[in-house]
Structure 1
Amino acid sequence: MNIVTVDNEKCKGCEFCMIKCPKKIMVKSSETNSTGYNYAVQIEPEKCTACGICYTMCPEAAITVSVK
């Protein structure tokens, strides 16, 4: 299972990771960070292939991909 970790405070909810994820497992959280943005979260980590597209697309460098 591969894990995508999002730094909630860096994420501005731009949705680039959500749009580009080939498995569509990145979604907006219903919660907000301290600056009022709905940050990205990973759902269904078992479907993640650790392709790194979310990491590459993030303009805020808020995403880390861990291969398990």
Structure 2
Amino acid sequence: MDLTQHTKENVIYMIEQIKEKLRMVNVDAMKSENFSEEQYEDLHYLYKMVMKRESFSPSEMEAIVAELGSLRK
């Protein structure tokens, strides 16, 4: 998958991968259709940061979820 392309499909892919990596319980709160390509750069940065980590502290999880919340349309 070429994540350099700012497409809706890439947005959906990144959100789904982040949800899977974080093992989010309330996945309905982070529906991929709630994100637009306008925040693509911020979402891609967050995606790369989440994917390179093995685990997260509770406070890191809260910060990531808060950032995802701020990126929703």
Q: Same fold (TM over 0.5)?
A: no
The structure with higher relative contact order (CA 8 Å, sep 6+) is: 1
TM-score by length of 2: 0.28
- Please state which structure has a larger fraction of its residues in helix: 2
TM-score by length of 1: 0.29
